[in-house]
Amino acid sequence: MRIRKMGLLLLVQLLMLAPLLAQKKKADAVLTADSLATGNYKDVLTSFFQLAFDNLTGKDKQLKFTSNPFAIMMRANPDLIVDTNYQRFRTLRNLNFGFNVKLDSNYKFNGFASGVNFAIINKRDYTVYKEFLHLVRANNEEYEILNKAVGATMSRLADPVLMNTLREQTSKLLNDKNFNYSKLDAQVKPIIDSIIKANNLVRLLQMINRDANVNIAQTIASEYEGVKESFKKRALWTVGVSDTTYADQFLFSNVVFSSQFLKGVYNKSNHNLELDLRGAYNLINDTLLAGRDLKRGLLNVEGGLNYVWRSQKTDLSFLEFKMSAAYMSILNGLYPGERKELFTLNGTLRIRVIDDVWVPVQFKYDPKTGNVFGLLNVKVNFSALKKAFIP
């Protein structure tokens, strides 16, 4: 019986994955920026589909589906992947919605949950800020001058062979990460050198003088990543509402109004420190009253710092550690003998196992009682599953 349920679950998972496998390759571009986001950021604002099995070790299992309207629209019409539409539907891209099917330990339906999350401020999205392009171009100023001067020189060359060689070599020098300055042809090198000197390209000249094997394309790529990095610590503020139904009745058992603010406070090479503030107001059933209602109100406030360690090669974060302090207050419907206020110190360690698979280990410490709680979650994104299925 249990095997049948597991099989059914796997089938549902594959059915959800199938359209993704069929979609055009260019739609993958959506994942590019997203896959660079930290796991914490991804939890707050998902830009593509996310499937998560929460509380794998607990009694209450959840099958979660999160997306945004733009991702759905794009699946229906891949032609939407143009900058004009990308900008036009910016609001839709900042809106996430999710459905969550709860299962009990026997994988039986145990309730339904849904939620909407909207980014009021999303300054991390470098794909929409013109400032980002201006910063990149300011960094690339000397390379652009070099390339333009090569274009001018090419246009007055009588020898078509030399003209083409100059074009190819310059393109490799500026775009090919496996090509370095010392590999330039003997007839092209003097042209490049004279252009650098004539235009007084000081940075380039210094780079070449320092190391003849300098990889200029790699330097350009690193500088680009540096600008992107500076955007990753910018502010992100989201607000959302979510609800949960009863297992036996489509009636809200829980409604949560929440808000979260993230901002990088320290950023040095591959180490980042991020401020994470979140608050929630939870409305749940007051079991002391007859019938089902939402009269019990709980306020949760949490503030902490999230440390992110990124790989220097891929720029993907592979370890995150979050320390936070949480305060909970029961504003309505306090039960007899229950503490009205609760203060805990929390720690969450998240390790990226493979590309999009995170293993978070969470600890909670209550200073008043001395209790320590632990919980294990595994989050899997669709892209990881997709990669696993496509050779």
Partner 1 sequence: MAAKKKAPKKKAAKKKSSTKKAAKKKTASPKKTVKKKAAKRAIAPKKIAPKKKAAPKKPGTRSAPARVEVATTRDISTREPVLTLLGISLDFTFQRQGEITATHFSAGQEVDEKTIGSTGRISFDTAKKGDVISINGAVAGDATLVLSRNTNPPSPRQYPEGGVFDNLIIL
CB of 45 to partner 1, least distance (A): 17
Whole-number Å distance between alpha carbons of 63 and 378: 12
CB of 6 to partner 1, least distance (A): 39
Whole-number Å distance between alpha carbons of 282 and 276: 19
Angle, CA of 223, 224 and 225, to the nearest 5°: 90
Nearer to partner 1, 48 or 126 (CB): 126
CB of 148 to partner 1, least distance (A): 5
User: Token pair of 71, please?
Assistant: 């991702």
Nearer to partner 1, 150 or 294 (CB): 150
CB of 27 to partner 1, least distance (A): 10
Nearer to partner 1, 88 or 368 (CB): 88
Whole-number Å distance between alpha carbons of 237 and 371: 32
Extract long-range pairs of 339-347: CB within 8 Å, 24+ residues apart. 342/366, 343/367, 343/368, 346/302, 346/304, 346/322, 347/321, 347/322, 347/323
Nearer to partner 1, 90 or 263 (CB): 90
CB of 232 to partner 1, least distance (A): 14
Whole-number Å distance between alpha carbons of 265 and 263: 6
CB of 138 to partner 1, least distance (A): 8
Nearer to partner 1, 173 or 380 (CB): 173
Q: What is the DSSP string of 21-64?
A: HHS-GGGGHHHHHHHHS-HHHHHH--SS-EEEEE-TTSSSEEEE
Which parts of this chain interact with partner 1 (CB under 8 A)? 26, 29, 32, 81-84, 86-87, 126-130, 132-134, 136-137, 140-145, 147-159, 163-164, 167, 170-171, 174-175, 191, 194-195, 197-199, 220-221, 224
Identify the helix (H) or strand (E) that includes residue 125: none
Nearer to partner 1, 155 or 312 (CB): 155
